[in-house]
Structure 1
Amino acid sequence: MCGITASIAAPSHNHVTSDNDLTTEHLHNQLQASIETLNHRGPDDSGVWISPDNAVALGHCRLSINDVTPSGGQPLHSDDSQIHAVVNGEIYDHDRLRAECETQHGYKFTGESDSELVLALYKIYGAPALFEHLRGEFAFVLYDERECTKRVIAGRDRFGIKPLVWTTVEGRILMAAEAKAFLPLGWCPEWDVGAIVDAGWMFDARTLFKGVKKLLPGHWMEISEERGIEIHRYWDAEYPDKRTVDEMVSGVRERLVEAIRLRLRADVPVGIYLSGGIDSSAVAGIVTHLARENRIKIGNAESNPGTKVACFSVRFPEESGYDESSIAERTAKWLGVDVVKRDVDETSLATDFADTAYHCEHHHFDLNCVAKFALSTLPREHGVKVVLTGEGADEHFAGYPYFPAEFLREGDFALLDTHLTANSVLREEMQRTADAEMKAIWRNIGANGDGDGDQEGGNFSDSLLAWHPKTDLFAPWVHSNGYTSVDCRKVITDSYPSDVREKMKSQWHPLHTAQYKWNKNALANVLLSCLGDRTEMAHSIEARTPFLDHHLAEYVNNLPPSVKLAYTPVDELSQADHGPVWKESGKSLQSLTAKWILREAVRPFITDELYRRKKHPFLAPTKWPLGGPLHRMFEGLLTRDAVERLGFVDYSAVEGALKHGFGDAADSKAFRTLAYVGAWVTISERFGVAQAVAPDGFAKEP
């Protein structure tokens, strides 16, 4: 895991003004300064390479994980010195791939770093064929200076675990892991008000910043003089076929164990983020099993039966209702592993809020990202650079409470003998009540997912938009210029390729359509950022996500809906404490067991308590006292001057949120409004973002 940055001369027919006076020295100084903004991603080493004609400049800062010697440094160069690259992430199964490249193709590696495989596989197979061999989380920029194929290639992993953003400034195409790296390269940030208002930053290639785009997950970019800038899709999700239930359970177990085994390879210590849920607990259980029973090494630790896994957990105030640390502690005791906890209280949330927003580079509906930011300080304090996490399990195994209503929309024609497929009357009644129960849950936790679902995109689009700010937050000129009249559901639909939209209409089960939408939108653009890479790498921590191994994901995608959500009817509503999210659930939601096949697959590795427990989403408390640290922090941050300098927010809405977001009668929606605007103000101040104004020719105020 590292920080990457690149400055590339735009093809001449792109009709942009080129900076022909850019000297090698100036370009080197720019890249070095750009790398320094990303030092948190790679504090161990850094390097810059510039082509002789200044057309391509590559920068890299390194977090040493595999091959911690100088031979693992970057930028990387091929064995014939004609291909150059900077790589962020991890390529798994690299020992086998390296052997194939050496023995079958005669490639000569410089060191032992897995990142070198990008060069080798590109030289052997070209693009896009190299992506077929890349397994893991990655983003890279590669320059092929051979005359016959002269071009720049940039690629991003299938789920968007590793970030890559790009823009154009003064005739140069800039690429980096984070937008802040563009600041020393001449970038003057401006808000993309349209992307903020219509939620496009969550759903398509746009970001919060005008002209800055994400390279989408599963895509690669090609830049050449002949063809200009082209973006291609190399991978996408597909759904499903059928097989026996026993085969499916063993198939999930085998692939998950293999994904975890591959992610234990490192030349540094490896730990685990352990919550009170089944996902991270299954990872901890399997790692413990592999270490003790199979003598698999955990990172650079010696393998022996007494090996203890280092686990890290967050602890909220017990009275908040959001604390799962006691369950994590019971799990750790059952597994015989160590767990270290980071206390996250109101003071720490207030202290870390601004730094979290700066690193995430986008707003968020909850302070769970601030808690993750605090949690990520723990591994380094205990000498651990790499952690395994449970991200991706809820997405692929239908663990979230908004999936059941989509599951119930149609029968499961891959498993015709299931009770709900045979009894359409029961299924349709459960669908209506599950939808109503989910809307009650949204209202209870201060979200907006209570639309009527009649417009394009259906009810699940309302779930995707549940955390999007209401339009009354925006300044009057934003309304008068038509920004708020855009149908956000259409923005969602338009973000999918046409062939995918056709499959949603005619081929896929509604559950699988919902999973696809969530994975392409919320997972890639929000969760893997503010609850993943950005908060982890802020503290130089590499997180590995075995549930997002694409071999496992492709297998799970092809499982029928009824093994992901199983019908297990209840006579009476459960009185068990499954967390605040489930307080509004009724019989329909409680009669469906989420992630059923995952529970069965990991049954040998988890406690009975976890096997039976409902999903408890990782959320932070939203009810805090008047005059407390968070209230004071937001009052100091969200002054009238600071909010009005944004240019697109109505201060009266913020003033109302400050009044109603705290105290015994606190409104969770008001609190979430403060989180949105607080992030924008922080980014504005730290990035120097220009104030947003109405476009020329548009009304300034109604």
Structure 2
Amino acid sequence: MCGIAISITLHRAGSAQPNNENKTKPETITNKADHDLESKLNKSLDLLAHRGPDARGIWISHDGTIAHTRLSINDLTPQGNQPLHSPSNQIHAVINGEIYDHDRLRSELAQSDGGYPFHSTSDSELVIALYRRHGSPKFLDHLRGEFALVLYDETTGDVIAARDRFGVKPLFWTVVDDKKLLLASEVKAFLPLGWEAEWDLGAVVDGGWANDHRTSFRGVTKVLPGCWMRVNRRDGEVVHERYWDMEYRDKRELETRTVEEMVLGVRERLTEAIRLRLRADVPVGIYLSGGIDSSLVAGIVTHLVRQQGIKLGNQDATGRICCFTVQFPPESGFDESEIAQRTADFLGVQILKKKMDEAAMAEYFADAVYHCEQPMIDLNAVGKFGLSTVPREQGFKVVLTGEGSDEHFSGYPGFLVDFLRENDHSLPEWPLSKDETLRRSLHQTMTAEMAERISKAGCSSDGLDDCKAYELVNGVGIPAYIARWQIHLGVFAPWVKQRWAGVDPRLVISNAMSPEVTAKMQEKWHSLHTSHYIWTKTMLANIFLSTLGDRTEMAHSIEARPPFLDHVLSDYVNSLPPSVKLGYVPVKQGTSNGDSWWQEPDTARKAFSEKWILREAGKPFITSELYERRKQPYLAPVRYPKDGPLHQKLREICTRDAVDKLGFLDYRAVEEAFERGFGENADVPSLRTLLYIGSWVTLGQRFGVKTASVNDLACESISI
């Protein structure tokens, strides 16, 4: 894992072209301009130092500059440092992330005709070798892992940027003064390179920062997951295309595999995905919660290490498999540390706990926002930020995590509503396939109960009526469920409310799907799979893998590896029928643990086993308690006392002067939120409002964001 900062000069038509023969070599700085640029790049890397504290490198030419800060995981020697250069010194690259199965790929590339002369054992060196052999974008097909990369080919003038298939690793870009292309792992790295921060109010108001290519900052764009971008330095043309996407079975296709075959298929591919992620030249740990996903990862790791003798990172870990978990106050109803302890005891592994009480939440809040660079929709990310301090303190650089399982195996209740929308014709003999009346009745009941449940979570009550957004995605309700996590228009200043009156975040979500994909949603995919796809492209990519993933982990120089997001596993799971993911098992009453809004199962939900096939595949590796237990998402507490540490912290952040400095909020909404957001009868939506506002204030101050005004309206993005 690493940090990337790039500055490339774009030469528009008619502008003078530089003399490539006079380019500055990586190790040579020859003039004041180069010295100034090196100084700026070092400042940019200073802002990314948490992503790579072990080494840094800068390559400078008259055409482009590439900088990299390294967290050494594979090949700890200086030979693994970046930027990387081709043997001809005409192709230059920086890579953030991990490429798995790299030993096999290196062997194949070294032994092929015109074999590549590798000079390290780093997985990152494969990028240039594969690019030379296959070209772009074909070389990306051979990369299995989590990565963001930038490659500069001087022979063509092309800058190639790409992200992994699910967006585990971040990559942003912008253009300054219409002539300088900037790319970086985090937006803050742009600040020393001539970029000045301004709000993208369109993305802030309509939720585009979380649901499409935009960010909270004007002109700053994400390279989307599974996509690659080509920028030609000579004419400035930008092409952004997809090299991989999720695909699902045709809902009219009959399933021919037996249940046993499908269960074994999941088990084999998940085990292989985990095995590949154990390879490292540093210690590897595990994030363990009280749910089946991380527990199954821990169980399979234990099996591989103790039964098959596979090394856990650079250690023979048979005596020390180490897990890490968050410990919330037991009285909150959100603490899962005890069940995590029972899982660790069952596996015979060590577990270390991070106590995250209200004081810790208050202490970490602002720093978590700064590293995430986007609003906090809850305090889950703050808890994860605190947790990530522990493995680093214990000498671990790598952890395995459970992200991505819910998106593949239907872990969230919202998926159940869309599952029940239509019949699963691939399994005509299954109970719900044969009883249309029962399915319709369950769908009606679950729809009503889900509306009540998400209101208890502090989400907006808007979005229940029909709209064009549903037509685009074949009627599934997941856009409304996602949109309810966005802040209400009522908190904004009058001129903002007037400009964006009638904006519909649900439509933003649906419009973020390509026409090719929406055609599949309407004609080919089952409603459940449409729901999976939308959630994966929005909430997973832009929130969970960011605030609950890379950004809070890398803030403490921790590389996380999510085996459930292995694309080989994903392709297989996406080929499975909907009914094996949400199993209809009415005689099996799942247990309820705790008293949070999520943990009391709905009437209709009691008849289903979420992630049914994953439970069956993972049964040999987990406790019976976890096998029987209902889905329990990782959640931080949502109610706090008046005048407590968190209340005081948000009061300290959200002053009138600070809120007015933003320029786009109505301070009366802040006062109302403080009145209702804390205390015995705390209103959860009000706390959520304060978390949003506290996030914007923090980002505005730390990034020096220009105050927004009505004069900016002509520049703002708006989704129609």
TM over 0.5: yes
- Residue deviations 1:102-148, cap 9 Å, x none? 011410112111001111100110101001100000001101112xx
- Residue deviations 1:227-286, cap 9 Å, x none? 711111101110016322111100000000000000000000000000000000000000
C-alpha distance in 2 between matches for 1:378 and 1:436:
41
Is the contact between residue 592 and residue 600 of structure 2 (CA under 8 Å) also seen in structure 1? Answer: no
207-216 vs 412-421, which moves further? 412-421
C-alpha distance in 2 between matches for 1:43 and 1:66:
15
- Residue deviations 1:437-491, cap 9 Å, x none? 111111112112553241123322111112100110111110122x242222221
1:695 CA displacement: 3.2
What is the match of residue 463 of structure 1?
481
1:556/1:519 CA distance change after superposition, 3 Å: same
Task: State the SS of the aligned residue for 2:182.
Answer: strand
1:340/1:202 CA distance change after superposition, 3 Å: same
1:104/1:321 CA distance change after superposition, 3 Å: same
What amino acid does structure 1 have at the position aligned with 2:534?
K
Is the contact between residue 334 and residue 594 of structure 2 (CA under 8 Å) also seen in structure 1? Answer: no
What is the match of residue 541 of structure 1?
558
2:659 is the counterpart of 1:651: no
**1:247 alignment partner, one of 248, 261, 283:** 261
C-alpha distance in 2 between matches for 1:14 and 1:535:
45
Is the contact between residue 459 and residue 484 of structure 2 (CA under 8 Å) also seen in structure 1? Answer: yes
Is the contact between residue 346 and residue 629 of structure 1 (CA under 8 Å) also seen in structure 2? Answer: yes
Is the contact between residue 12 and residue 236 of structure 2 (CA under 8 Å) also seen in structure 1? Answer: no
C-alpha distance in 2 between matches for 1:340 and 1:284:
14
C-alpha distance in 2 between matches for 1:404 and 1:213:
33
- Residue deviations 1:266-307, cap 9 Å, x none? 00000000000000000000000000000000000026xx33
2:409 is the counterpart of 1:397: yes
C-alpha distance in 1 between matches for 2:57 and 2:402:
33
Identity of aligned residues (%): 54
1:238/1:590 CA distance change after superposition, 3 Å: same
What is the match of residue 660 of structure 1?
676
1:301/1:476 CA distance change after superposition, 3 Å: same
Task: State the SS of the aligned residue for 1:299.
Answer: coil
1:24 CA displacement: 1.9
1:585 CA displacement: 3.5
C-alpha distance in 1 between matches for 2:13 and 2:442:
58
Task: State the SS of the aligned residue for 2:69.
Answer: strand
1:697/1:653 CA distance change after superposition, 3 Å: closer
Is the contact between residue 56 and residue 81 of structure 2 (CA under 8 Å) also seen in structure 1? Answer: yes
Is the contact between residue 10 and residue 235 of structure 2 (CA under 8 Å) also seen in structure 1? Answer: no
What amino acid does structure 2 have at the position aligned with 1:367?
L
C-alpha distance in 2 between matches for 1:484 and 1:72:
53
2:390 is the counterpart of 1:378: yes
1:450/1:577 CA distance change after superposition, 3 Å: farther
1:680 CA displacement: 0.5
Task: State the SS of the aligned residue for 2:240.
Answer: strand
2:451 is the counterpart of 1:439: yes
What is the match of residue 474 of structure 2?
none
C-alpha distance in 2 between matches for 1:472 and 1:345:
31
What is the match of residue 709 of structure 2?
693
What is the match of residue 111 of structure 2?
103
Task: State the SS of the aligned residue for 2:74.
Answer: coil
C-alpha distance in 2 between matches for 1:345 and 1:563:
39
What is the match of residue 293 of structure 1?
307
Is the contact between residue 161 and residue 228 of structure 2 (CA under 8 Å) also seen in structure 1? Answer: yes
C-alpha distance in 2 between matches for 1:410 and 1:13:
54
C-alpha distance in 2 between matches for 1:460 and 1:505:
15
- Residue deviations 1:359-400, cap 9 Å, x none? 000002110100000000000111110000000001110101
What is the match of residue 129 of structure 2?
120
What is the match of residue 580 of structure 1?
596
Is the contact between residue 205 and residue 213 of structure 1 (CA under 8 Å) also seen in structure 2? Answer: yes
Task: State the SS of the aligned residue for 1:598.
Answer: helix
C-alpha distance in 1 between matches for 2:126 and 2:373:
30
What is the match of residue 283 of structure 2?
269
C-alpha distance in 2 between matches for 1:549 and 1:16:
45
**2:174 alignment partner, one of 167, 170, 187:** 167
Unaligned runs of 5+ in 2: 19-30, 471-476, 716-720
Unaligned runs of 5+ in 1: none
What is the match of residue 155 of structure 1?
162
TM-score by length of 1: 0.96
2:288 is the counterpart of 1:281: no
**1:418 alignment partner, one of 430, 455, 462:** 430
**1:499 alignment partner, one of 505, 516, 528:** 516
What is the match of residue 34 of structure 2?
24
C-alpha distance in 2 between matches for 1:585 and 1:312:
28
C-alpha distance in 1 between matches for 2:85 and 2:340:
45
- Residue pairs, 1:303-702, within 5 angstroms: 306-448=318-460, 451-458=463-470, 459-481=477-499, 483-570=500-587, 576-577=592-593, 580-582=596-598, 585-695=601-711
What is the match of residue 47 of structure 1?
57
1:84 CA displacement: 0.5
Is the contact between residue 449 and residue 465 of structure 1 (CA under 8 Å) also seen in structure 2? Answer: no
Task: State the SS of the aligned residue for 1:152.
Answer: strand
1:596/1:489 CA distance change after superposition, 3 Å: same
What is the match of residue 189 of structure 2?
181
Is the contact between residue 370 and residue 698 of structure 2 (CA under 8 Å) also seen in structure 1? Answer: yes
- Residue deviations 1:634-654, cap 9 Å, x none? 111100110111111111111
C-alpha distance in 1 between matches for 2:520 and 2:594:
35
- Residue deviations 1:172-225, cap 9 Å, x none? 000000000000001110000000111111111100000000000011011112
C-alpha distance in 1 between matches for 2:606 and 2:297:
25
Task: State the SS of the aligned residue for 1:566.
Answer: strand
1:546 CA displacement: 0.2
C-alpha distance in 2 between matches for 1:130 and 1:456:
39
**1:89 alignment partner, one of 71, 85, 97:** 97
What amino acid does structure 2 have at the position aligned with 1:231?
H
What amino acid does structure 2 have at the position aligned with 1:490?
L
Task: State the SS of the aligned residue for 2:609.
Answer: strand
1:600/1:169 CA distance change after superposition, 3 Å: same
Is the contact between residue 441 and residue 585 of structure 1 (CA under 8 Å) also seen in structure 2? Answer: no
Is the contact between residue 175 and residue 181 of structure 2 (CA under 8 Å) also seen in structure 1? Answer: yes
C-alpha distance in 1 between matches for 2:17 and 2:235:
18
Is the contact between residue 590 and residue 630 of structure 2 (CA under 8 Å) also seen in structure 1? Answer: no
2:230 is the counterpart of 1:217: no
Task: State the SS of the aligned residue for 1:289.
Answer: helix
1:574 CA displacement: 6.1
C-alpha distance in 1 between matches for 2:205 and 2:587:
42
1:342 CA displacement: 0.4
Aligned residues: 690
Task: State the SS of the aligned residue for 2:67.
Answer: strand
What amino acid does structure 1 have at the position aligned with 2:410?
A
1:511 CA displacement: 0.3
Task: State the SS of the aligned residue for 2:598.
Answer: helix
Task: State the SS of the aligned residue for 2:241.
Answer: strand
